[in-house]
Every structure is written in structure tokens, then in C-alpha cells.
Amino acid sequence: MTKSKAKILVVDDNAGIRSALGILLPLHFSQVEIIPSPNELISRVGTFGPDAVLLDMNFHRDINTGNEGLYWLSELKSRYPDVQVVLFTAYADIALAVEGMKRGAADFIVKPWDNDKLINILENACGKAGRHGSAANRPQESKADAPMLWGTGTAMSEIRKTVGKIAMTDASVLITGENGTGKDVLAKEIHRLSGRSAMPMISVDLGAVPETLFESELFGHAKGAFTDAKTDFAGKFEQAQGGTLFLDEIGNFPLHLQSKLLRVLQNRTVTRVGDTRSIPVNIRLVCATNMDLPQMVRDGKFREDLFYRINTVQIHLPPLRERKDEIPRLAEMFLEKFSGQYNRKVSSISDDALRVLVSVPWKGNIRELQNCIEKAVIMSEGETLTANDIMSSGTGPDLHAGPGDSNTPSAAVRDGNGEDTLEMIEERAIRSAMKKYNGNLSMVAKALDISRPTLYSKLRKYNI
């Protein structure tokens, strides 16, 4: 057996798993390091320079959401984009796996694992790293963000005027709107147009930060402040010095820490955990949320004084169903992105496909549209994205079904706005895929990105 020259870093808090991998992996890889905590992940990647990281997704007992793994995945990929990450979890959640892959993970494996499969996945991940040269010690270069794609509707035109007025100021901005409406993109546009554009914009997804790490991540910590704090660490406020700090999902900020955040914003100084020195910070604050902060204030879940501090200017992003003029251009932008990313020769979208896209209510907004185009590009067999490609991706009504067609749902109901419900869209997508793949359940499940048991359940539900 020939050993791979690749270097593997394992992060897992389970001593038994660390012991087992400590025996298995050195048989196949020339260098293996294993650590119990992600707190030293970033520094260890910098010194060890692994080709692939096997990253556990949960590090606290009784917490199995996977948020910690997604958080550390994002942190690692933002600094070392060519280091390949394989997510390691005991909880077989397909949605979580897809989210991890979209955030840059190379693959995903479920505990208990098959040894041969684990080695194969790690070898493939190291192969991806090798195509970019050595993955070690290569932080991501800063790149200017492209201008925002603005719609022509009244609401977006007014937002564009507002952004033009406030961008060059240091006014704090609160962006509200449903999930997936592009709040982070608007925050980047404000930074791009500001006088701080030459300085960094640091983004923090507060919904993904484990509560135990809030203080350290935002305000930093001193060496020895807690176990594994082996060096001083500059928090996000210090990292954004001179630039913009974007706090996404600000409604998730713990109530007991809101007073400290308020003091930092009022005094423009930050004190690291375990230290007494006040460090001056010069940042422009932009926050975003899909929550009803005024109601949270009334319920005592969000400080009123903090709400007014972050809310000098408020911008509400309308949902995509109210911005249908943007859908064709967004679809074309995502088509170009994913055809390049997956090396597919899909260069255009048919008129029928555009009609499908514009007809869908997009309850998941721009993020759902992006996922739809990504799946359609992967599954497409031609150079033009068709209506069937869109429907096979799990979205949109079946345009080929006529009033007397047996494929048309018989008991479907529309919502109060006369739009297709999610169940209607789901049923039509399944019927379309069953027709396209001649009832081959394996291919249907793969096309719809669901498991065979889930497909069986839905076939019974819709009497297909």
C-alpha cells in the first residue's frame, strides 16, 4: 500500500474517535495531526499546512445543530480557500450536508464511518487541493465585490436612492427582510460605495456563532483567558478597523451580551476577554435581520437602546415575489456562475424556462432561485436551460400538463394570493421527474435531491 504524501488535520472532541483515526489515517497519509478543539483550528492550519481538514460539526454535548461546524468551515475557507474540508457528523442530515457543500466543503461523511469510504473521500479532497498547488499557508486574497444587480421596480429604485445618500456617511444601517432577499449583498454594496471601501469589510453570521464564542469572536481574547487561548486574538471589531463590520442575523445576539455591544458602539473601544486594556476601534456598523426587532424589544428580548443605536437608517428589502423584474437577470447571472463552476456548456435560458421562473412565488427568495439554477445547470443535458430542467430541479409548475392531463394535480389548492402552494410545486416536480425518467425511482430521487425513502413517502402522499 502506497501512502499519500498529503497532510490531514482532524478536529474532533471525541477521544475514542481521535484514537481510532490516529491508528487508521497514518496508514494512508504521510502526515496526520489530530486536535480536540476547533479553537486552535485556524492557527494550526497556518503552521501545519494541511491539504484536507476532517472537521467534526458539533463540539458541545447536547448541541447537534451542526452550526459550530458550519461556522468553523466558513472561518477556515475565508482564510485558506484551497484547504479542502470534509465535514464529519453523527447526524445524517441531507439539508445540513448540502448547506455545508454550498459553503465550500469538499464532502461530507456520517459517523459511524466505513474506513474505505473515509479514505477515498479524503484522498479525493486532497486531490482537489493538489490541483491548486500546495494548499498550505495561502490565505484568501481580498477582492472587490461586483456592483449590486439593481431591479427597476419602485421599491428597489427608492432603496438605490437611499443607498446613494447614506453610503459615504458613517451612519449605522439596519437592513431588514425575509431570509434569502440579499441583505448581505446590499451590505457589501453600501461598503463598496463608502469612503471605507479600500479597507476590509468583516462579516459575521451571528446565527452560526456558538453562544460560548460570541464574546471571543467579536471582542477578541487575551492569551490564557480560557483553555486553548494560547495566543492573543483580535476579534471582529479589531479586524474591521477602518472598514465596515457587518453583523448578520443581529436578532440572535444574546441578551446578556447586548450591554457590552452597546458600550463598544458608544465608546468606540473594545476590551478583549481576559484583558483590561481598552482598544480604540474605528468601524462603520451595518446589521441585518429577518426578525421583528421592535416586537423583540416589547417582549424584553432585545435592548431598546441597542435597537436605536444600530438603527440610524433602516432599509427594508422586499421579497423576490415583489421584484419579479429582477428574476431573468438574476437567473442569467447564476447560470454564468454555475456553468463555469461545474464546467457545463450551458449558455442560455429558454423563454419557457424564464416563464416558469417568473411564475414561481419563490418563498425562499433569491437564495431559492440560486439553488434552483445551480441544480438545473448540474442536471441539464443541453446548452440551453429548458423549462423541464427547471422543473426537474424541484421547482416550478409543469407547463406540459394540460387541463385534462392526468399529471395535473387534482386536489391542489392555491394560497390567498392565488399563487401555487409549495405542495403544488412539489407534486408537479415529482410528476415531471417521474415522467422524464420513466419511473426510475433512483434517478428521480437523485434529480430531486431527496432520499429514496423520502420519495416513497411523497409518492404515497400525492397518490402517484
Helix axis angle for 351-359 and 327-341, nearest 10°, is 120
The CB-side HSE value for 328 (13 A sphere, CA atoms) comes to: 10
Strand partners, 269: 280
Least Cα distance to 54 among 2, 111, 8, 4 occurs for 8
Cβ(281)–Cβ(244) below 8 Å = no
Q: Please state whether beta strands 284-289 and 244-248 pair in parallel, antiparallel, or not at all (unpaired).
A: parallel
Give the DSSP H or E segment for 239. Answer: helix 236-239
Q: How much is the CA Rg of the chain, to the nearest whole Å?
A: 24
Contact 309, 295 (CB under 8 A): no
Query: Which run of H or of E encompasses 447?
Result: helix 441-448
Omega into 328 within 30° of 0, i.e. cis? Answer: no
Q: Please say whether the beta carbons of 218 and 283 come within 8 A.
A: no
Rounded CA-CA distance 384/350 in Å is 6
Burial of 18 (0-12, 13-18, 19+ CB in 10 A): middle
- The β-bridge partners of 344 are none
Name the helix (H) or strand (E) containing 154: helix 154-166
Q: For the chain, which residues score pLDDT lower than 70?
A: 1, 60-67, 90-98, 129-147, 393-423, 449
DSSP conformation letters of 338-366: HHHHTT----EE-HHHHHHHHHS--TTHH
* Cβ atoms within 10 Å of 250's Cβ, excluding its own: 27
pLDDT score for 91: 56
C-alpha cell at 332: 442569467
In the chain the domains, ranked by start, together with CATH numbers, are 4-130 (3.40.50.2300), 154-318 (3.40.50.300), 321-461 (1.10.8.60)
Q: Are 461 and 426 a contacting pair, CB within 8 Å?
A: no
Q: Rounded to the nearest 10 degrees, what angle do helices 452-461 and 441-448 cross at?
A: 100
- What's the rounded Cα separation, in Å, for the pair 282 and 413? 54
Say how far apart CA 256 and CA 198 lie, in whole Å. Answer: 34
Classify 84 as helix, strand or coil: strand
| d(C-alpha 3, C-alpha 23), whole Å | 14
Q: How do 269-270 and 279-280 pair as beta strands?
A: antiparallel
| Cα–Cα distance measured from residue 355 to residue 328, given in angstroms and rounded to the nearest whole number | 9
pLDDT for position 94: 54
The pLDDT assigned to 1 comes to 61
User: What's the pLDDT score for residue 413?
Assistant: 37
The C-alpha cell of 409 is what? Answer: 394535480
The SS3 call for residue 235 is: coil
- What is the H or E stretch that residue 87 is in? strand 84-89
- Per the structure block, which three cell numbers stand in for 209? 456563532
d(CA 154, CA 135): 47
Distances (CA, A) of 153 to 112, 160, 322, 327: 52, 11, 9, 12
145 within 8 A of 198, measured Cβ to Cβ? no
| Residue 140: closest CA among 76, 55, 187, 228 | 76
pLDDT in the model for residue 194 = 92
| pLDDT given at position 410 | 31
Say how many CA atoms lie within 13 Å of 332 toward its Cβ.
10
Long-range contacts formed by 58-65: CB under 8 A, 24+ apart = 58/89, 58/90, 58/91, 59/13, 59/210, 60/210, 60/212, 63/210, 64/90, 64/91
| Grid cell digits, residue 276 | 483590561
